[in-house]
Amino acid sequence: MTSPTLTRRAFLPAGLALGSLAAGAATAQNAPTALTTAPVSQIDLSPRLTMHAIDTHNGSPGAGMKVQLSKYEGDDLHVLRRVETNKGGRTDEPLLLDATYQPGRYELLLQFEDYFAARGTPLPKPNFLSQVPVRFRITNPTERIHLAILFTPWGYSYYRGS
């Protein structure tokens, strides 16, 4: 007896069927639980600067990240504040709000090496990234800016949210 030849056209539907069976079993076992709190609405909040550190190496919020916010005045950089992110990877209060939220050039300095050392992450000595600057501008003080920062010991990216 000869076995049927599996063609490309037959392979795709067969693979999809098997994949959906496996996904269904995994979904049932690993189904997320319901939210216990509702997301916080940003409607009607005044303009502000906020940030969110996301540790993509460990798949968690960047809790305990030391951050320094500075503003450029000409070529000089002046420290405005130093903060540490909370368990959600955010700061407890906006970085800039109301009268402090002004147009200009700014820098967030994130302490990656200290963050990963505090978690016992095995890293080369010296680590590839130590302190990472995130430079940005506020041009319109009537708009909110939220900086989402995704990072690993070897790289980072950030984008402007609202």
Tokens of 64: 């305990």
pLDDT recorded at residue 119: 93
3-state SS assignment for residue 155 = coil
Phi first, then psi: give them for residue 140, nearest 5 degrees: -125, 105
**CB of 66 closer than 8 Å to CB of 116:** no
Cα separation, 52 vs 162, in Å, equals 12
pLDDT recorded at residue 69: 98
pLDDT recorded at residue 161: 84
pLDDT recorded at residue 43: 58
pLDDT recorded at residue 125: 84
Cα separation, 91 vs 65, in Å, equals 10
- DSSP conformation letters of 52-112: EEEETTTTEE-TT-EEEEEEEETTEEEEEEEEE--TTSB-SS-SEEGGG--SEEEEEEEEH
pLDDT recorded at residue 35: 47
Cα separation, 76 vs 80, in Å, equals 13
Helix (H) or strand (E) holding 49: strand 48-55
Burial (CB < 10 A; 0-12, 13-18, 19+), residue 101, is: buried
pLDDT tens digits, the chain, 162 residues: what are they?
Answer: 555 565 555 555 555 555 555 445 444 454 445 545 544 545 566 899 999 999 999 999 999 999 999 999 999 999 999 999 999 999 999 999 999 999 999 999 999 999 999 999 988 888 889 999 999 999 999 999 999 999 999 999 999 986
